[in-house]
Amino acid sequence: MTKNDMKKGIATKHGVSQVEAERWIDAVFDEFTEGLKEDGRVSIYNVLTAELKDTKPRSGEINGKPYATPAGKRIKTKYSPNFEDKVLGE
């Protein structure tokens, strides 16, 4: 599913224009992004939890050539068992 597919589905199901549906989608993801940046965690009940996690610096060799990866951050996501059941049909 693409953002365009989602926009069309919301517009059809909720009787709004596609422009309005796109505003809703953008607003949700803007809040999601802001929540991760400010709080480091976003939890949507019965769907998922996303958290910012620190990563350690790493180094090693690939094909005999050394490499180094600096410390940073990543987004860790965990899906709700209820959501997984809905998606996977179990």
What pTM value is reported for the model?
0.74
Torsion from C-alpha of 80, 83, 84, 90, nearest 10 degrees: 130
Residues whose CB is less than 8 angstroms from the CB of residue 63 and which lie 6 or more positions away in sequence, other chains included = none
Residue 90 pLDDT class (50, 70, 90 cuts)? low
* Cβ 60 vs Cβ 66: under 8 Å: yes
27-82 pLDDT per residue, tens: 999 999 999 999 999 999 999 999 999 999 999 999 999 999 999 999 999 999 99
Give the total residue count for the chain.
90
Residue 33: the pLDDT is 96
